[in-house]
Amino acid sequence: MEYKKLGATGLSVSPLCLGTMSFGRWIDEQASVAILNEALEAGINFIDTANYYGKGQDVEIPYGTGAAEEILGRALKGRRDNVVLATKVGLAMGYGPNDAGSSRVHILREVEASLRRLQTDYIDLYQIHHFDPRVPQEETLRALDDLVRQGKVRYIGCSNYKAYQMAKAHAISNAMNLERFGSVQPQYSLLVRDIESELLPYCQEENVGVIVYSPMARGMLSGKYNGPDDVPPESRAAHGERMIQRLFTPRNFRLIDKLKPIAQQAELPLAEFSLAWVLNQPAVTSAIVGATKTQHVTSAVNALSVKISDPDLKRIDAVTAEVDGLV
Ligand SMILES: NC(=O)c1ccc[n+]([C@@H]2O[C@H](COP(=O)([O-])OP(=O)(O)OC[C@H]3O[C@@H](n4cnc5c(N)ncnc54)[C@H](OP(=O)(O)O)[C@@H]3O)[C@@H](O)[C@H]2O)c1
Residue to probe by mutation, ligand 1, list 129, 183, 288, most atoms within 8 Å of CB: 288
Chain segment 123-176, per-residue pLDDT in tens: 999 999 999 999 999 999 999 999 999 999 999 999 999 999 999 999 999 999
Average pLDDT over residues 245-251: 95
The one-letter amino acid at 100: A
H helices of 25-136, in order, are 29-41, 67-75, 104-118
Q: Is 222 in the pocket of ligand 1 (CB under 6 A)?
A: yes
The ligand 1 atom at the shortest distance from the C-alpha of residue 185 is 1
Distance CA 289, CA 296 (A): 9
Backbone angles phi, psi at 137, to 5 degrees: -60, -30
Q: pTM for the full model?
A: 0.97
- Cβ 25 under 6 angstroms from ligand 1: no
Whole-number Å distance between alpha carbons of 104 and 106 = 6
DSSP state of 100: S
Model pLDDT, residue 57: 67
The answer to whether the CB of 212 falls within 8 A of the CB of 186 is yes
| pLDDT one-digit tens code per residue, 268-296 | 999 999 999 999 999 999 999 999 999 99
| Spacing, Cα 305 to ligand 1 middle (Å) | 20
Give the model's pLDDT for residue 142: 98
pLDDT tens column, 206-245: 999 999 999 999 999 999 998 888 899 989 999 888 889 9
| Residue 173 beta carbon below 6 angstroms from any ligand 1 atom | no
Position 306 scores a pLDDT of 97
Indicate the pLDDT class of residue 320, thresholds 50, 70 and 90.
very high
Nearest CA, atom 26, ligand 1? 219
- What does the pLDDT read at residue 242? 85
pLDDT tier at 62 (50, 70, 90 boundaries)?
confident
- 19 in contact with ligand 1, CB cutoff 6 A: yes
Quick check: CB of 32 below 6 Å from ligand 1?
no
Which residue(s) pair with 87 in the sheet? 126
Residue 58 has pLDDT above 90, yes or no: no
Share of the chain above pLDDT 70, in %: 98
**pLDDT range class, residue 78, cuts 50, 70, 90:** very high
Enumerate the active-site residues: 63
Q: Enumerate the domain spans of the chain.
A: 4-219+281-306
Which pLDDT value is given to residue 55? 78
Whether the pLDDT of residue 180 is over 70: the answer is yes
Burial class (CB in 10 A: 0-12, 13-18, 19+), 282: exposed
Phi, psi for 9 (deg, rounded to 5): -75, 170
Q: Which CATH architecture has domain 4-219+281-306?
A: Alpha-Beta Barrel (3.20)
CB atoms within 10 A of CB 204: 13
DSSP annotation of 227 reads B
Beta strand 4-5 pairing with 286-289:
unpaired
